[in-house]
Amino acid sequence: MVLCLASATAAQAQLSASFAADSDYRFRGVSLSESRPSLRTSFNYDAPNGCYGGASATRVELARGDRYAQLLGYAGCVVPAGVGHHLEAGVTFSRFTGDSSYDFAEGYVGVLAQRWSARVHFAPDYFGRHVSTAYAEFDIHTLLNENFRLFGHVGAITRTGGNGGGASRARADLRLGVGWVLGDLDLQVAWLAASRGGPYPAVYDNRRSAWVAAASYSF
């Protein structure tokens, strides 16, 4: 599952929450759950002025046997930028219970449209590994009908500073899938893949591609 940040464009204030389960929690194409199922709970607040904030908690396993909870907080704002487009800016902070050395913050900017979005994220100390990074991503989706949609994602991360410890400077990731909405239930099946190397918190030897199923309930 790739973490998605909600944007606030509603005219009224709204508070929402969700519970989700993923067959494999994948962050930017790489498993953070040792290719095992993971649970997540999230809360989000959208303000009338276009700003938003929220938090989530997800079970992670950054190295075999090292199980933590990833607590993610985020906040940002969206402003109109011409017909059908918005500009976005925000920050995120990830806290890992049990080992704070993995904690890291990112800032991001983006352009949002009805069917697509593009963002660039900047981290001064990615996963606490003493390297700075930039991550660019492009997401797109199309509705097949009122319940079904197709979606795609492509992203690339590069180390912009620090010693990579012998790892390559960059890594790319891809996600293609289908989603089905039934009331407050959202079901997804997607194929995810990532290239080798690049900035990452630990050495990983799991599959670089996988089919991932996810289900979330919002209220």
Model confidence pLDDT, tens digit, residues 204-218: 556 789 999 999 999
The per-residue pLDDT for 61 is: 87
Q: Which residues contact 149 (CB under 8 A, 6 or more apart)?
A: 141, 142, 143, 178, 179, 181
Q: What is the pLDDT of residues 51-71, one digit of tens each?
A: 999 999 999 988 778 888 999
pLDDT tens, residue by residue, 161-210: 998 777 788 999 999 999 999 999 999 999 999 998 888 765 555 678 99
Contact criterion met (CB below 8 Å) for 40 and 62 = no
CA distance 46 to 51: 6
Q: Which CATH number is associated with domain 14-218?
A: 2.40.160.40
Strands (E), 23-103: 26-27, 30-31, 38-46, 51-63, 66-80, 86-96
First to last CA, the chain: 20
Cβ-proximal residues to 209 (8 Å cutoff; 6+ apart), any chain: 191, 192, 193, 194
The pLDDT tens digits of the residues spanning 134-158 come to 999 999 999 999 999 999 999 999 9
Structure tokens at 208: 């670089």
- pLDDT above 80 for 12: no
Rounded distance between C-alpha atoms, residue 52 and residue 70, angstroms: 20
Domain boundaries, the chain: 14-218
State mean pLDDT over 34-59.
95
The CA distances from residue 204 to 23, 180, 200, in Å, are 18, 31, 9
29, 101, 130 from 93: Cα distances, Å: 19, 13, 16
pLDDT at res. 203: 52
87-123 pLDDT, tens digit per residue, is: 999 999 999 998 899 999 999 999 999 999 999 999 9
Backbone angles phi, psi at 55, to 5 degrees: -155, 155
Q: Does residue 10 register a pLDDT over 50?
A: no
pLDDT at 202: 56
- Maximum Cα interatomic distance, the chain, rounded to a whole number of Å: 50
Short-list 180, 182, 156, 178, CA closest to 169: 156
